[in-house]
Structure 1
């Protein structure tokens, strides 16, 4: 796995009682593995009575309301947005932004085709100003991260203090372009994504599943951090329980209840994600990849990989290479 690039997520070093390892923030590792990238698009200025219908986004969509108020409708979810609000759409589904959801919606492609100076315009006037873009990820992002999140994450402006700096900086780069402004804005967008996730995960009762739910649990979280810090270590339920300072039965029951998978099943899944990342990124021998994720036998690794991913390591690498060639 290539070096992590989102250092803002680093945690203090701590020592596990079974293995002397640096404990890494699992979210840090997952985002680095998925190669998260921000893409800033043209903003939207709108006024009067208007509605814009957007096709299903490619990746995770975000928008920030810089001025005014409007409605967001995604499937059967409707959210009233005000100045300072921000939202993420984590599923590839169509959505509508509007002053009045009963107004005839203009396709976004038509509206943004006429964008100038980085802004598209809908309706008449400038009652509302939105700045947005999307986040793209590498292969298997849905399996690893997005499926564990709700379809819509809405951050009210009054609770967005942790996001304010990134929002203001993105807006400034877009309003007053200079050398490298788009690059700066897109890197800031990744910072914004991480901060939205941190804000959401810190809320009581956050609607997350899987390993993200486990991060908030002191017992499960300790085991997750141990796995992500040393995925190739010869973990057993007993050693993970020791890392979490609980009994084997307690860890097994709690981990399965919170994450939805048994501890060693999760370990195998994470090892396969690390392996699939290395298979995508180069021509490293399969045997070497197997050793890097804790398998002494290439055969045992290939069997586990096919069970989790649905293809053998070599077939998976071949399919990724073929898709990349066709783009």
Structure 2
């Protein structure tokens, strides 16, 4: 029996994350490294030792200890250091001399971090990134979730041993870890300002979101969604807007357009068929809505050949 697709799985499937790089850092003594800006999203996990992570533009540094994981979602430069008063050296000075994917600073021995960088095959990354802070820090993550601990151990082994099929194994392990860290973060108090992601932590709102994702083409009514959530119309509408920052139908409209954009790029279906498939009664109404959000017609979007289009704020 097929498992139902939940909204988080739906969005991640649409984004199609793929690991670009996996690497490790071993360090000893006192050290500080400055990392440049980056594309995509970075995942890191501390397996041994402790340090601080500071992200450019963020007010507070985060203390990291063995078992902690963090995601860097905005591509901003950042710093790792055992002592925040130390003058950092450029990370390239260490990583350019990495051996078998492991960089070593001051001989290693006290600290071990593994990580990877995700790129996305879709241009819909704002669906996820816009709902996340610049750094997602989950403390003691590897001890909270056995699956994450196992995945970290396996990825460390892949980096250390470089076995046959290691690149493919690392891809899958990294995606498992990305999902697990997001799960742990959603269950924490830090997710209280996370828009639609925050709604997933609310069992009642999550049921409504699941319904919207399961049948985006349906002509939903507010009372039907409220019934899924087990709330009155008024309470549901207020709670959804307060949590997500959009009305249920604003959220549905955006999700429909994201789905349509993905189908325009990845299928040969006609614009009319795609419009109907995501719930629009006419191609003209769909094209108007699509142009307002993406800044170009559906046909031009399909023919552009670029995955760099971005949604405009409405």
Superposed pair shares fold, TM > 0.5: yes
Give a deviation string over 1:31-84, Cα, whole Å, max 9, x none. Answer: 001101223422111222321111112111111122222221113331222222
- Normalised to the residue count of structure 1, the TM-score between the two structures is 0.86
Tell me, in whole angstroms, the C-alpha distance in 2 between the residues paired with 1:253 and 1:194. 29
**Which consecutive residues of structure 2, in runs of 5 or more, have no partner in the other structure?**
309-314
- Normalised to the residue count of structure 2, the TM-score between the two structures is 0.89
Tell me, in whole angstroms, the C-alpha distance in 2 between the residues paired with 1:317 and 1:77. 42
Q: Determine if the alignment matches structure 1 residue 92 to structure 2 residue 86.
A: no
Q: Determine if the alignment matches structure 1 residue 148 to structure 2 residue 159.
A: no
Matches within 5 A, 1:1-327: 24-75=5-56, 76-157=59-140, 160-162=143-145, 163-204=148-189, 206-319=191-304, 321-322=305-306
Kept in 2, the 8 Å contact 1:67–1:129? The answer is yes
> Aligned to 1:284, what secondary structure does the other structure show?
coil
Kept in 1, the 8 Å contact 2:14–2:124? The answer is no
Tell me, in whole angstroms, the C-alpha distance in 1 between the residues paired with 2:123 and 2:246. 18
Give a deviation string over 1:56-114, Cα, whole Å, max 9, x none. Answer: 12111111122222221113331222222211111111001122222222212232111
Closer/same/farther in 2, CA of residues 200 and 49 from structure 1, 3 Å limit: same
> Aligned to 2:109, what secondary structure does the other structure show?
coil
Post-superposition offset of 1:323:
5.6
Kept in 2, the 8 Å contact 1:52–1:122? The answer is no
Post-superposition offset of 1:231:
0.6
Post-superposition offset of 1:158:
6.4
Tell me, in whole angstroms, the C-alpha distance in 1 between the residues paired with 2:265 and 2:97. 38
> Aligned to 1:189, what secondary structure does the other structure show?
helix
Tell me, in whole angstroms, the C-alpha distance in 1 between the residues paired with 2:197 and 2:78. 26
Q: Please, what is the CA RMSD of the aligned residues?
A: 2.1
Give a deviation string over 1:96-142, Cα, whole Å, max 9, x none. Answer: 11222222222122321111122112234432111111122233444
> Aligned to 1:104, what secondary structure does the other structure show?
coil
Closer/same/farther in 2, CA of residues 284 and 132 from structure 1, 3 Å limit: same
Kept in 2, the 8 Å contact 1:38–1:134? The answer is yes
Give a deviation string over 1:231-282, Cα, whole Å, max 9, x none. Answer: 1111122222232233322222221111111111111110001011111224
Post-superposition offset of 1:205:
5.1
Kept in 1, the 8 Å contact 2:54–2:61? The answer is yes
Tell me, in whole angstroms, the C-alpha distance in 2 between the residues paired with 1:57 and 1:322. 20
Kept in 1, the 8 Å contact 2:141–2:181? The answer is no
Aligned residues: 304
Tell me, in whole angstroms, the C-alpha distance in 1 between the residues paired with 2:230 and 2:67. 42
Closer/same/farther in 2, CA of residues 207 and 258 from structure 1, 3 Å limit: closer
Post-superposition offset of 1:322:
4.2
Tell me, in whole angstroms, the C-alpha distance in 2 between the residues paired with 1:247 and 1:314. 41
> Aligned to 2:61, what secondary structure does the other structure show?
strand
